[in-house]
Amino acid sequence: MTIELQTADTTAVREALAAQTIELPSWAFGNSGTRFKVFAQPGVPRDPYEKVADAAQVHKYTGAAPRVSLHIPWDLVDDFADLRSYAEGLGVQLGAINSNVFQDDDYMLGSLCHPDAKVRRKAVDAHLKCIEVMHETGSQDLKIWLADGLNYPGQDNLRARQDRLAEGLSEIYAALGPHQRIILEYKFFEPSFYSTDIPDWGTSLLHCMALGEQAMVVLDTGHHAPGTNIEFIVAQLLRVGRLGAFDFNSRFYADDDLMVGAADPFQLFRIMNEIVDADALRPDSGVNFMLDQCHNIEPKIPAQIRSVMNVQEATAKALIVDRAALHEAQQASDVLGAHSVIMDAYNTDVRPMLADLRREHGLDPHPVGAYAASGYAERIVAERVGGAQAGWGA
Ligand code: PSV
Ligand code: MN
Ligand code: MN
């Protein structure tokens, strides 16, 4: 059975797509690279205001990216209320606040897990400062990713580090406002290589469960070993109501931070299929769909536009899965029948429907082309001299 989008009633699918929002990372707009070289691009933002302005362009052409996450202290400004009203004036909101407890020399051996109580104090205080910022920006989510870990067996006590982590997190958690959440990210390696203090979803979940209901797991798609069944993790976290957010990106080898849907669009579809199946696409489901990417060799604003479109396409394909037919085939133990329901949806070209939906909402059906024609890229090249790096100094 082939899905005929032309004849099927796609009203519910279109409504779900129109309601979907994707949050953009401020650091995607700055210069970035690898440890070998950062390639500077002309016209990149020189400060957080310009990053927000670029993010607003992505929303302008997709209609689906109304929030931008900040990274503190990369995006430190004197007056966050002012940055907030600047963002709102451009039609976007400030989203998750990412704490950065990895860039100072003090953090060489860790932050919340560090053996020295003075460093742990500094790391907790950095998070308390982020919560203050969140009150000014109106942000709901404090996103914590720690670079903590060990390079050598015996370097520190594995269990003691978990205890210190739990203690630091609980002090941070206690400072949250009633509508704020900790979203706790895991990553299986890097910058440490022997052991990472929050290496996997299980460790993140254990800490979140100990903290309370305002602590949720963040799943960064690039933070798993090759071959990991990520959609299983999505399904499991949704089951227990602890999937707080995604950091979407693509990986071929490590934490590549390439455009989402570039390396494995089928995986992205399978992830979104679990989301739709659990009815977690609803804006009030508590899952924040964020991008976490760097564009080292491609222009940044169109790359973000493209990434948003890739998420939309995967979502549209997940939404058109014939769930009744799938359920029936599964109940009948019809292995091939069930599989073909999934593949029929995946192999459907949803681009015309999305183009049509954009038209319906007063947008250009082709966001990348519309952005290119707008002249914004040329304008920022002319106006901005000396663009900043994605992280430090930005
Ligand atoms: C770490 O690799 C990570 O995925 C975290 O989300 C950081 O906040 C982000 O990259 C930017 O450094
Ligand atoms: Mn991430
Ligand atoms: Mn990462």
Nearest ligand to the C-alpha of residue 143?
1
CA-proximal residue: ligand 1, atom 3 (nearest): 145
Tokens standing for 301? 């604003």
Digit-by-digit pLDDT tens for the chain (394 residues) are: 445 565 567 899 999 999 999 999 999 999 999 999 999 999 999 999 999 999 999 999 999 999 999 999 999 999 999 999 999 999 999 999 999 999 999 999 999 999 999 999 999 999 999 999 999 999 999 999 999 999 999 999 999 999 999 999 999 999 999 999 999 999 999 999 999 999 999 999 999 999 999 999 999 999 999 999 999 999 999 999 999 999 999 999 999 999 999 999 999 999 999 999 999 999 999 999 999 999 999 999 999 999 999 999 999 999 999 999 999 999 999 999 999 999 999 999 999 999 999 999 999 999 999 999 999 999 999 999 876 766 644 4
Instruction: State the distance from the centre of ligand 1 to the C-alpha of 258, rounded, in angstroms.
Output: 13
Partners of residue 341 on adjacent β-strands: none
CA-proximal residue: ligand 1, atom 2 (nearest): 255
Which atom of ligand 1 lies nearest, measured to the CA of 71? Answer: 8
Residue indicated by tokens 């009150």 = 135
* CA distances in angstroms from 355 to 219, 260, 265, 367, listed in the order given: 29, 20, 19, 9
Q: What pLDDT, on the 0 to 100 scale, is given for residue 8?
A: 67
* Among the listed residues 338, 364, 365, the one whose alpha carbon sits nearest the alpha carbon of residue 350: 365
Q: How far is Cα 4 from Cα 6, in angstroms, rounded to an integer?
A: 5
Phi, psi of 377 (to 5 degrees): -60, -45
pTM of the model: 0.96
Which atom of ligand 1 lies nearest, measured to the CA of 255? Answer: 2
Answer yes or no: is the C-beta of 257 below 6 A from any ligand 1 atom: no
Q: What is the residue-wise DSSP string for 132-147?
A: HHHHHHT--EEEE---
Q: What pLDDT, on the 0 to 100 scale, is given for residue 1?
A: 46
Answer yes or no: is the C-beta of 255 below 6 A from any ligand 1 atom: yes
Which are the contacts of 206, defined by CB distance < 8 A and separation ≥ 6?
A: none
Q: Ligand 1: which of 220, 221, 246, 258 to mutate, judged by most atoms within 8 Å of the beta carbon? A: 220
Answer yes or no: is the C-beta of 75 below 6 A from any ligand 1 atom: no
Q: How far is Cα 63 from Cα 180, in angstroms, rounded to an integer?
A: 25
Instruction: State the distance from the centre of ligand 3 to the C-alpha of 224, rounded, in angstroms.
Output: 10
Domains within the chain, CATH numbers bracketed = 11-383 (3.20.20.150)
Answer yes or no: is the C-beta of 292 below 6 A from any ligand 1 atom: yes
C-beta atoms surrounding 376 within 10 Å: 17
Tokens standing for 41? 């691009």
Answer yes or no: is the C-beta of 247 below 6 A from any ligand 1 atom: yes
Q: Which long-range contacts (CB under 8 A, 24 or more apart) does 211-215 make?
A: 211/169, 211/170, 211/173, 211/182, 212/173, 214/173, 214/176, 214/180, 214/181, 214/182, 215/169, 215/173, 215/181, 215/182, 215/183, 215/184, 215/242, 215/244
Cα radius of gyration rounded to whole Å, the chain: 21
Q: The dihedral of CA 265, 270, 272, 273: what is its sign?
A: positive
Q: Which residues surround ligand 2, an ion (CB under 5 A)?
A: 220, 247, 292
Instruction: State the distance from the centre of ligand 3 to the C-alpha of 363, rounded, in angstroms.
Output: 32
Q: What pLDDT, on the 0 to 100 scale, is given for residue 5?
A: 62
Answer yes or no: is the C-beta of 288 below 6 A from any ligand 1 atom: no
Answer yes or no: is the C-beta of 186 below 6 A from any ligand 1 atom: no
Answer yes or no: is the C-beta of 185 below 6 A from any ligand 1 atom: yes
Q: How far is Cα 266 from Cα 264, in angstroms, rounded to an integer?
A: 5
Residue indicated by tokens 């999505």 = 234
Q: What pLDDT, on the 0 to 100 scale, is given for residue 28?
A: 98
Q: What pLDDT, on the 0 to 100 scale, is given for residue 385?
A: 81
Q: How far is Cα 334 from Cα 187, in angstroms, rounded to an integer?
A: 37
Instruction: State the distance from the centre of ligand 1 to the C-alpha of 98, rounded, in angstroms.
Output: 8
Q: How far is Cα 125 from Cα 316, in angstroms, rounded to an integer?
A: 42
